[in-house]
Amino acid sequence: MMSSAGHDRVRTATVRPSDHADGMEHGEATMDPLARFVDDEQAFHHTLWRRTPAVLHPRTPPMEMLTVAELDSILDAGLLTTPYATLVHEDGPVPEERYCSPRVVLGGIDNRYVDAGAVRRLIGDEGATLLLRYVDQWHAGVRELADGLAECFQRQVEAFFFLTPPGTQGRPVHRDDTDVLAVQMHGSKRWRVYPGPPGGNWQPERVDGDPGDPLLDVVLRQGEVLYVPRGFAHVAEANGGSASAHLSFTVREAGSAHLYAVLEALLLDGDGLPARPNDDAALTGAANDLIAHFHHTLAGLTPEELVHLARGAMCREKHTTAGSLSALLG
């Protein structure tokens, strides 16, 4: 555990809300989703985004999302399955057969259902971390907040939940292919954030060897938010004598593969070529038409538009409720 003196020293990168900023009561539906994570949106975009890790102090952090009590209820309901729920140690995943129980479903054996008792034993006895993946896909409140952030950033946003026993870390030092906004939901967690990669050919994976001196070494407390820029190496460890839980919203950026995919789709869209030209002249004519189509498509395409299209292709379709069952039942 860090000393109080060290804790004060490393928090110099913290951003605090202005005393004169206009407040908003907790729970107002009109609040900008990003305001649940940052205290000054302009400062975040102009000073921190893609540049600097920092601790943020939003006025109304989303502490109501996926509380530990709700997590207990979800586990006990018995419908949580892998890969949405997994257990991990610092050195790798816990084998699924240790915390999943087979069930007979439609006459077949399904081994993916998570056993709540086994999960609690492995967390308590072996210091395993519970990782909930893509929470935005199966938790309505988290999904709504993730969709709001996706609209703010115009990028794909996903959510992950980590419950870590005291004195342990669920993952080694690693880089993520996302910008991360980590909300401390319960307890406290020590984070160390290291510089980003030197070039564009890095991989989102563990960082072996000495990562050097951290840019930020801080204990994140309940209600605080840590921002980690994309590619900046980092590691988190549950701090103090109790378990620690945080909810991470990850902002996923397009890469070269997405640019290739979108450009290929544009070039192959609407060419109208015959599938099997019958002779040399027809084949040469098809090649000429294809080149003309490529020239026409590329002539009106800017780099900024290609990036915009790639980001849009990554975003999942908007969720629609299409009414409710209660309305259907009258």
Percent of the chain with pLDDT over 70: 86
Would the pLDDT of 260 be above 50?
A: yes
First vs last C-alpha separation in the chain: 57
CB-count exposure of residue 80 (10 Å: 0-12, 13-18, 19+) = buried
Would the pLDDT of 1 be above 60?
A: no
Would the pLDDT of 46 be above 80?
A: yes
Residue 171: pLDDT band with limits 50, 70, 90:
confident
The torsion angle over the Cα atoms of residues 209, 210, 214 and 220, rounded to 10 degrees, is 60
The DSSP symbol for 255 reads -
* DSSP H or E segment with residue 313: helix 303-314
Residue 2: pLDDT band with limits 50, 70, 90:
very low
Nearest to 16 by CA among 225, 230, 236, 246: 225
Taking residues 244-270, report their average pLDDT: 90
The backbone torsions φ and ψ at residue 9, rounded to the nearest 5 degrees and listed phi first, read -65, -40
pLDDT at 320: 52
pLDDT at 328: 65
What is Dmax (Cα atoms) for the chain? 81
Would the pLDDT of 142 be above 90?
A: yes
Omega of the bond leading into 277 within 30 degrees of 0 (cis):
no
Taking residues 91-99, report their average pLDDT: 94
Would the pLDDT of 270 be above 90?
A: no
Beta strands in 232-291 (DSSP E): 234-239, 244-252
Residue 84: pLDDT band with limits 50, 70, 90:
very high
Q: Could you give the CA distance from residue 24 to residue 30 in angstroms, rounded to a whole number?
A: 9
Would the pLDDT of 319 be above 60?
A: no
Angle between helix 116-126 and helix 68-77 axes, rounded to 10 deg: 130
Taking residues 296-317, report their average pLDDT: 86
Residue 5: pLDDT band with limits 50, 70, 90:
very low
pLDDT at 330: 62
The per-residue pLDDT of the chain, averaged, comes to 86
Summary count for the chain: helices (H), strands (E): 9, 13
pLDDT at 205: 86
| CA dist 80 → 84, 88, 95, 116 (Å) | 7, 16, 16, 9
pLDDT at 25: 42
The DSSP symbol for 94 reads P
Would the pLDDT of 208 be above 80?
A: yes
Would the pLDDT of 318 be above 60?
A: no
Q: Could you give the CA distance from residue 144 to residue 24 in angstroms, rounded to a whole number?
A: 19
Taking residues 103-114, report their average pLDDT: 94
pLDDT at 268: 82
Would the pLDDT of 13 be above 80?
A: no
Amino acid at position 88, single letter: V
Taking residues 51-68, report their average pLDDT: 95
Q: What is the pLDDT of residues 283-302, one digit of tens each?
A: 999 999 889 989 988 998 99
